[in-house]
Structure 1
Amino acid sequence: MTPTFNTISIVGLGYIGLPTAAVFASRKIKVVGVDVNQYTVDTINRGEIHIVEPDLDMVVRATVKEGYLRATTQPEPADAFLIAVPTPFKDGPAGPHHPDMDYIESAAKSIATVLNKGNLVILESTSPVGATEQLAAWLAEARPDLTFPQTHGDASDIRVAHCPERVLPGQVLRELVQNDRVIGGMTMKCSDAAVHLYKTFVQGECVITNARTAEMCKLTENSFRDVNIAFANELSIICDKLGIHVWELIKLANRHPRVNILQPGPGVGGHCIAVDPWFIVSAAPEQARLIRTAREVNDSKPEWVIEKVKLAVADFLQANPNKTVKDLTIACFGLAFKPDIDDLRESPALEIAQKIATIHAGQVWAVEPNIEVLPKNLEGLLKLKTVHEAYKLADIKVLLVDHKQFKDQGPPPGAMLDFKGIWK
């Protein structure tokens, strides 16, 4: 029997949950978004958005106005539930990079109260291997009156699957629709139900596998990119020591038909590439040697950047003996974890700017055109300035994120450190 999805609930209205809710709602399906943040709920119900994502504001405004999208703080009955909450780190037996399943557990217990026979529950959150089975166990514990795949297989009352997102911030709406989707059901009927749901809007192929393989697939995709970036970052440090322009070198090497080196930078950030490899390391610490090393290389890059800034300060003061450290202003261009977005999560640029501001006796400015106010923990530590102000008045310009505004402006006058290769 083909499942019917008249109402869909999205739990977690962040950078993945809200665009997903908006895309479903744009297909004239009733969507109830659930988030613990009252500000987020109120913002969406006004037809506005609390994140930066191209074109998302128009879709949310239209679907809210038409009555297909609504947000609330408490789960309501639905035909399908998609969980898109964070999975950060916490201290565990093997160290500080143990997956934190608390948000998923909380989401599971909250929707368990409104589950009905025939419902589909999908875990979209990037998760450690086994998370979908754990989700199903939490649901079963909370609802002993219902049956679940781990005990009743295809005959279960509730279908459970893992279907990880694989989208690029800044292009989320397009990629949600066009990209292939990995569907990892706990049983074949779970997978079939999930395919039927996603085919509401997915134009790419829905590829079926089991839940554990789907979980590992997302972690593998981001770990592969992390290893490639670690190679580029290590190469940039070697090239700096040898007096070689790393971006020219990579451009030349990539002319080989089977070489595709990614670009170096001040580190690796975001909620995926900087996080997901540690989930593999946590699950198999003795075997994940290369993946662990890549993470360590990328995590250490911000310290190397800070040392280069210290050397630039010393050089500037030597060339300008009439100035003291307190007279010297450093401008950090970019705080987001990648270009042209407002997302500061796990951002190496943010970490670098914060540390420079802590150790530098003079002023430190942040130039981040995608945000209007600094996070509260940076207030009084950094000053938010425009591109024009920083170009004109800062003594040392430090490029950390290759935002479009910085590319369009071109190289600034005076002393600069370019860690993205767009000003040199």
Structure 2
Amino acid sequence: MKKSICIVGLGYIGLPTAVMFANHGHQVHGVDVNESVVDHIRNKRLHIEENGLQERLDQAIDSKAFTVSTTPVKADVFIIAVPSPIKEDKTANLEYIRSASKAIAPFVEKGNLVILESTVPPRTVQDVVIPELIPTGLEIGTDIFVSHSPERVIPGRVFEELVSNDRIIGGVNEESARMTSDLYRSFVKGQMHETDDTTAELVKVMENTYRDVNIALANELAKLSATIGVNVWEAIRLANFHPRVNIHQPGPGVGGHCIAVDPWFLVELNPEIAKIINLSRNTNDGMPAYTVDMLCKILEAKGIDTYDAKVAVLGLAFKGNIDDMRESPSLNIIEEAQKKSLNVIAYDPHIKTNNIEVQTQSLEEALTGAVAAVILTNHDDFKQLDPEKLAGIMQHKIIIDTKQAIDREKWQAAGFEVYVLGDSKNSPL
């Protein structure tokens, strides 16, 4: 059945979700407080990068099934898809959730459904969303219905996973969960798993915490491997042939709006209980400093003065083939390198505007005169680089690959010294 839907938050999750509903028979109104974002979308221009988004946005707007503005409108369904970041003290900043809930309250009417999609600490629906809906005078679960249905997609594959992934549907009561499941069946082919709202909140945070703890294990193994003559990437590959083992890959840190953030929600609940989670977060947050320490030791071992030495950082996005810099460890690595008086210049082919002072839009500018290049993101563009063309512009042909992104033998044949995170070969650690 066709519904009118008002979606608050038109970022990496809200916008794809909005166009999916619009292109599957619903009338959708998108809301964002950023006037520039609204202007971009209204004119069919993207402010984020996602495979397949442009054509879907064009279809949604051209069919007049999707409109946008900075304020909510009356609708059958309200979906909140705003950020839920952490503050400097690693506690959750829920003001975006609170503000969005408060903003829709004057437009909510009897029979409406309110869905929180944002990933949040357990009890956010109960303690933040519902209190902002109380002034409507409508009874929760009888007059209006409320649920939590967290997104479970990854950048670069959002539309594929919106359709195919199972969804967790957490209603404040059974009717809220049923209504939410019915809505998402408009385009979701995965199964709907209905539960209560607080359990659904915990499930999403648990999923990302599992991945964070697993990555922390991989990073510890990488550090150990560098000291005992082992290539951790090969060791992990072989270990994962065990039918009950799935060790993730190490790296220079953990980024993104989920894995680098969500575990802190559980630590905040009770630090004395969440000790493994806390340690894993600190382990992964420590990888940027470890990476810079590795870089400095390599340069010092080669007799290269690190003071004001130019280092090219390749990759600012938190994962390959996207433009998302949220919580990217590359930013922490740049900061740590600057503390060591290194002269850093950064390049990312997917990020078309200079978002930080040391960023350039030219790979050649980044590499010319550099004593070393550090690959921090496994973009396909980096895998396809021709080392023969780059060998002549760097001051020293040193490559540090933290993502096992390049063909080591190919680069060595071009005269480069290649160092891989977690591989003891030539390791300075």
Q: TM-score normalised to the size of structure 2?
A: 0.89
Residues 16-38 of structure 1 show CA distances to partners (whole Å, capped at 9, x for unaligned) of 00000010111131110000000
1:80-159 equivalences in 2 (<5 Å) = 80-90=77-87, 96-144=89-137, 146-149=138-141, 156-159=142-145
**1:234 is aligned to 2:220:** yes
1:246 to 219, 232, 241: 232
Please, which of 404, 407, 424 is the counterpart of residue 380 of structure 2?
404
Amino acid at match of 1:422: A
- Change in 2 beyond 3 A, CA 1:31/1:324: closer
User: 2-side partners of 1:81 and 1:68: how far apart?
Assistant: 16
Contact persistence 2:215–2:248 (CA under 8 A): yes
Shift of 1:168: 1.1
Residue identity matched to 1:353: I
CA deviation after TM superposition for structure 1 residue 353, in Å: 2.0
The match for 2:312 is 331
Matched, 1:63 2:60: yes
Aligned partner of 1:19 in structure 2 is 16
Which residue of structure 2 lines up, in the alignment, with residue 266 of structure 1?
252
Is the CA contact (8 Å cut-off) linking 1:47 and 1:65 kept in structure 2?
A: no
In the TM superposition, residue 419 of structure 1 has moved relative to its aligned partner by 0.9
The residue that corresponds to 2:172 in the other structure is 186
Among candidates 39, 43, 46, match of residue 40 of structure 2: 43
Alpha-carbon distance between aligned partners in 1 of 2:374 and 2:154, rounded to the nearest angstrom:
25
2:173 aligned partner, one-letter code: T
Number of paired residues?
400
- CA displacement 1:115-164 (0-9 Å, x = unmatched): 111100000000111011124432343212x1113xxxxxx110000000
Cross-structure match for 2:347:
367
What's the secondary structure of 2:5's corresponding residue?
A: strand
Instruction: Give the letter aligned to residue 93 of structure 2.
Output: D
- Residue 205 of structure 1 deviates from its aligned partner by 0.7
SS of aligned partner of 2:90: strand
| Distance in 2, Cα, partners of 1:354 & 1:324 | 15
Pairing 1:73–2:70 present: yes
In structure 2, how many angstroms separate the alpha carbons of the residues matched to 1:366 and 1:324? 17
Q: Once the two structures are superposed, what CA deviation does each residue of 1:187-224 show, in whole Å capped at 9, x if it has no partner?
A: 00000100111011111111111111100100110011
In structure 1, C-alpha distance between the alignment counterparts of 2:129 and 2:367, rounded to whole Å: 54
Q: Contact 1:184 / 1:209 at 8 angstroms: preserved in 2? A: yes
Q: Which amino acid aligns with 1:19?
A: P
Amino acid paired to 1:351: N
Cα pair distance change 1:370/1:128, threshold 3 Å: same
CA distance in 2, matches of 1:406, 1:141: 52
Q: Letter of the aligned partner of 2:214 in structure 1?
A: N
1:152: which partner in 2? none
Spell out structure 1 runs of 4+ moving beyond 6 A: none
The alpha carbon displacement at 1:48 in A equals 1.6
Check whether the contact 2:371–2:398 (CA below 8 A) recurs between aligned residues. yes
1:166 aligns with 2:147: no
**Residue type of the alignment partner of 1:366:** A
Alpha-carbon distance, 1:309 to partner:
1.6
Q: Percent identity?
A: 43
| Mean Cα deviation higher: 405-414 or 45-54 | 405-414
**CA distance in structure 1 between the partners assigned to 2:133 and 2:344 by the alignment:** 53
2:386 & 2:277 partners in 1: Cα distance? 36
Cα RMSD (Å): 1.7
Partner of 1:394: 370
Q: Is the 8 A contact 2:91 2:265 kept in 1?
A: yes
Whether 1:212 aligns to 2:198 is yes
**Which residue of 31, 42, 59 maps to 2:28?**
31
Matching residue's letter, 1:386: S
